[in-house]
């Protein structure tokens, strides 16, 4: 894949098709591409400005920790112990 000195890296349509996963990874990291057909620019591939969908890695880790170490509020330790002894989860 050619390395550009400008803001955009030019890439032919065939190469863009065959290396789409690699191109998308680079776009995700902030690189920009101009796709050409027979030397004529036809499209720019740039990082999206849309908000990120889904949780961040930090949010996933925090949720995991909350599941591993739940806080039970409003119920005494004695009541929880009694429920466990009764066979309640």
23-39 pLDDT tens trace: 999 998 999 999 999 99
Q: Where are the domains of the chain?
A: 8-45, 57-86
pLDDT at 4: 43
Q: How far apart are CA 31 and CA 35, in angstroms?
A: 13
Residue 34 near residue 41 (C-beta atoms within 8 A): yes
Mean pLDDT of the chain: 87
User: What is the reported pTM?
Assistant: 0.50
Residue 60 near residue 36 (C-beta atoms within 8 A): no
Which CATH superfamily hosts domain 8-45?
Answer: YefM-like domain (3.40.1620.10)
């Amino acid at each position: 894949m050619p390395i550009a000195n400008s803001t955009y890296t030019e890439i032919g349509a065939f190469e863009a098709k065959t290396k789409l996963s690699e191109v998308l990874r680079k776009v995700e990291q902030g690189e920009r591409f101009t796709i050409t057909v027979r030397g004529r620019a036809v499209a720019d591939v740039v990082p999206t400005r849309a908000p990120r969908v889904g949780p961040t890695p930090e949010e996933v880790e925090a949720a995991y920790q909350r599941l591993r170490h739940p806080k039970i509020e409003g119920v005494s330790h004695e009541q929880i112990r009694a429920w466990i002894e009764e066979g309640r989860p």
